[in-house]
Amino acid sequence: MAQWDRLRDLPAPYTQQLHELYDRDALPMDVRHYLSAWIEKQEWRRAARDHDLAMALFQVLLENLDIQHSRFVQEESFLMQHNFRRYKQNFQRYLDDPCALANAILWFLEKEKEILQSVDLTEQVQCLQVAHEAMEMSSQQDLERKMAGLRNEVQCMDHTMFCLEEQQDEFDFKFQTYSMEAVVDEAGKKEQEKVFQLLINRLDERRKSTLSDLDKILDRTDDLIGILVKKELVEWQRRQQKVCIGAPDNVCLDQLEKWFTCVAVCLFQVREFLGKLQELMEKVSYGNDPVKAQRPAMQKRADTLLKDLLKSSFVVETQPSMPQGKGPLVLRTSVQFSVKTRLLVKFPELNHSMKVDVSMDREAPQIKGYRRFNVLGTKTKALNMAESQSGGMVADFRHLTLKEQKSGGGGKGVSDISLSVTEELHIIYFDTAFEMKGLSVEMQASSIPVVIISNSSQQQSAWASVLWFNLLSVDTKDVVFFANSPAATWPQFGEMLSWQFLSATKRGLNEDQLEMIAHRLFGKQKNYDTCKVAWSKFTKENTPDTFWLWFDGILVMVKTYLEDMWRDGLIMGFVSKGKEKSLLKKKQRGTFLLRFSESVIGGITFSWVEITITGEPDVKTVQPFTKVDLCQIPFQEIVRNYQIFEAENIPECPLLYLYPNTPKDEAFGKYYSNKSGSDSLYIKYIKTKLVFVSKEKTLEARSPMSSDMGQGEGSEPMNALCGETAEQDGSPHSQQSPLETYHPDPMLSDAVSDADDELLMYLNNPNLFADSDILQDEPLPDFGLSGFNCLPPQTCGSIFQ
Classify 506 as helix, strand or coil: coil
Per DSSP, the residues of 462-474 read HHHHHHHHHHH--
Q: In angstroms, rounded to a whole number, what is the distance separating the alpha carbons of residues 663 and 639?
A: 12
Q: In angstroms, rounded to a whole number, what is the distance separating the alpha carbons of residues 388 and 394?
A: 6
Alpha helices by DSSP H, listed for 642-736, are 664-668
Amino acid, single-letter form, for residue 295: R
Question: Are the C-beta atoms of 453 and 333 separated by less than 8 Å?
Answer: yes
Task: Report the predicted TM-score, pTM, of the whole model to 2 decimal places.
Answer: 0.69
Q: In angstroms, rounded to a whole number, what is the distance separating the alpha carbons of residues 168 and 179?
A: 16
Any idea which architecture 3-128 has in CATH? Orthogonal Bundle (1.10)
User: Which is the CATH superfamily of the domain at 314-481?
Assistant: STAT transcription factor, DNA-binding domain (2.60.40.630)
Alpha helices by DSSP H, listed for 604-677, are 627-630, 635-641, 664-668
Name the stretches of the chain with pLDDT < 50: 131-132, 409-410, 675-682, 700-801
Classify 441 as helix, strand or coil: strand
Of 725, 733, 738, give the one whose Cα is nearest residue 769. 738
Question: Are the C-beta atoms of 154 and 266 separated by less than 8 Å?
Answer: yes
Question: Are the C-beta atoms of 341 and 394 separated by less than 8 Å?
Answer: yes
Query: Would you kindly state where each structural domain of the chain is located, as residue ranges?
Result: 3-128, 130-307, 314-481, 487-673, 679-689+719-801
Classify 570 as helix, strand or coil: coil
Q: In angstroms, rounded to a whole number, what is the distance separating the alpha carbons of residues 791 and 410?
A: 68
Question: Are the C-beta atoms of 404 and 369 separated by less than 8 Å?
Answer: no
Tell me, what DSSP letter sits at residue 670? G
**For the chain, how are helix, strand and coil distributed in percent, rounded to 5?**
50, 15, 35
Q: In angstroms, rounded to a whole number, what is the distance separating the alpha carbons of residues 214 and 154?
A: 9
Domain boundaries 487-673, corresponding CATH code: 3.30.505.10
Confidence at residue 187, expressed as pLDDT on a 0 to 100 scale: 76
Confidence at residue 780, expressed as pLDDT on a 0 to 100 scale: 39
Half-sphere exposure of 299 (CA within 13 A, CB side): 15
Spell out the residues 6+ positions from residue 249 whose beta carbon is closer than 8 angstroms to its own.
239, 242, 243
Q: Tell me the sheet residues that pair with 617.
A: 611
Domain boundaries 130-307, corresponding CATH code: 1.20.1050.20
Q: In angstroms, rounded to a whole number, what is the distance separating the alpha carbons of residues 395 and 428?
A: 14
SS3 for 259-322 is HHHHHHHHHHHHHHHHHHHHHHHHHCCCCCCHHHHHHHHHHHHHHHHHHHHHHHCEEEEEEEEC
Spell out the residues 6+ positions from residue 330 whose beta carbon is closer than 8 angstroms to its own.
321, 322, 450, 451, 453, 459, 462, 463, 466
Confidence at residue 562, expressed as pLDDT on a 0 to 100 scale: 94
Cis peptide upstream of residue 624 (ω within 30 degrees of 0): no
Classify 85 as helix, strand or coil: helix
Q: In angstroms, rounded to a whole number, what is the distance separating the alpha carbons of residues 96 and 613?
A: 49
Q: Between β-strands 314-321 and 393-404, what pairing exists: parallel, antiparallel or unpaired?
A: unpaired
Question: What distance separates the 2 farthest-apart alpha carbons in the chain?
Answer: 151
When computed from its CA atoms, the radius of gyration of the chain, rounded to whole angstroms, is 38
